[in-house]
Structure 1
């Protein structure tokens, strides 16, 4: 099972009729069990890239090859829950055949056990994000796409939720692709970090992290993060010079 991405161009027209280039060169591949992380400046086209990869946007140049018939779990920047449905119903709508034992384990890991009968309007942002994650994991996806799932959360809550995502990813053979602005999230969750340029986005570097997630110590995480920062600062200098 493999995801192959080659997006050579993506443009859109504004309401005023002006053409804007969003992506100019994104080429990478991920195998089963790998977590790729897209890191780049705000507005560079990361979310657009995810929509193309998920098959939600077909207006681009290039080719995206997804595993045939793969179940796709997509966690958007906003939780996108149905306000008239309970937490459990929001999850079961996406995964009607979900095994009760597996669903209960999922709710337990994501700290949703006490909220199964609550409605989205009764939830904090952190809980709503957990429901969105539960919905995506409940379908047992072969391809999981996460668009800034920890955005707008305080540091402690984001760290706890990041650990829960890592637990859910452990041992699964799915392909996962995550967008984040936080290098700590990238280094703690990813197996590969893909650095993107400013718009129009292109892949500046594809950086593998050899050590398994569960074995990464704080010193190694800090060293990897510092190396990525050096590369980001170096690429910014090169782009400014050109």
Structure 2
């Protein structure tokens, strides 16, 4: 399963009739089993890019390629659960063909076994995020898109949920694209990292991580994060210099 992204441009027209560029040329590809991470400043166009990749926005120049039969799982920034349905009903609505054994395993991994009959209003944000992950994995996706799934969680909870995401991603060959502001999330979960510019977003640098996720030590992760921070600072500094010259 291969995901190919080749966006030439994306613009929108304001109420005043002005045209604004959201995305500059962005091109990359991800293979089955690979986790790509998009890292960029707020408002640079990451969510717009995800909408294009998911097929929710077709008003752009370029093309997105994936096998037509590919199943897609999506975890949004907000859990987006139906409040009048229970945890299990929310998951089964997305994956009606999922077996009882499959759901039981997902609920076990995500520590949701005691919450299957609860409703979204009874859940903490962390639990609701777990339900959103269960819903995405229940469809057995070929392509998984995660839009800042750990945002606004405390460090301890984010760490536990990050480990659960890593376990789920390792459980089946899925092509994964993660959007995050966190260098820690990127260093722990990613195989290839894409540093994005300010709007209109373009790829400033592509950073591969050769150490397998399951063998990355704390020291290796700290080194990856330090290198990412330096790379981002250098690239953004060069970008500002280029704008000043122009």
Same fold (TM > 0.5) = yes
Deviation at 1:218, TM superposition (A): 0.8
The aligned counterpart of 1:227 is 227
2:205–2:235 CA contact under 8 A, matched in 1: no
The aligned counterpart of 1:164 is 164
C-alpha distance in 1, partners of 2:176/2:237? 31
C-alpha distance in 2, partners of 1:130/1:17? 42
Deviation at 1:17, TM superposition (A): 2.3
Deviation at 1:171, TM superposition (A): 3.7
C-alpha distance in 2, partners of 1:24/1:63? 14
Deviation at 1:68, TM superposition (A): 2.3
Q: Which runs of structure 1 show a deviation greater than 3 angstroms over 4 or more consecutive aligned residues?
A: none
C-alpha distance in 1, partners of 2:232/2:206? 12
Residues 41-80 of structure 1: CA deviation (Å, up to 9, x unaligned): 1000111111101111100011110122100001111111
The aligned counterpart of 1:193 is 193
- What SS does the aligned partner of 1:163 have? helix
The aligned counterpart of 1:176 is 176
C-alpha distance in 1, partners of 2:187/2:60? 30
Deviation at 1:145, TM superposition (A): 0.3
Deviation at 1:113, TM superposition (A): 0.7
C-alpha distance in 2, partners of 1:206/1:241? 20
The aligned counterpart of 1:63 is 63
C-alpha distance in 2, partners of 1:166/1:71? 19
Residues 201-223 of structure 1: CA deviation (Å, up to 9, x unaligned): 00111111111100001111111
Deviation at 1:18, TM superposition (A): 2.1
Give the TM-score taking structure 1 as reference length. Answer: 0.98
C-alpha distance in 1, partners of 2:131/2:16? 38
C-alpha distance in 1, partners of 2:99/2:15? 47
C-alpha distance in 2, partners of 1:163/1:49? 26
* Structure 1 segments unaligned to the other structure (5+ residues): none
Q: 1:1-242 maps to which residues of 2 (within 5 A)?
A: 1-242=1-242
Deviation at 1:89, TM superposition (A): 0.2
Deviation at 1:143, TM superposition (A): 0.3
C-alpha distance in 2, partners of 1:140/1:42? 30
- What SS does the aligned partner of 1:141 have? coil
Give the TM-score taking structure 2 as reference length. Answer: 0.97
Aligned length: 242
C-alpha distance in 2, partners of 1:234/1:37? 19
C-alpha distance in 2, partners of 1:25/1:219? 35
**Greater Cα shift, 190-199 or 164-173:** 164-173
- What SS does the aligned partner of 1:56 have? coil
2:75–2:132 CA contact under 8 A, matched in 1: yes
Computed over aligned residues only, the root mean square deviation of the Cα atoms, in angstroms, reads 0.8
C-alpha distance in 2, partners of 1:171/1:152? 26
C-alpha distance in 2, partners of 1:149/1:171? 19
C-alpha distance in 1, partners of 2:174/2:240? 38
Deviation at 1:189, TM superposition (A): 0.5
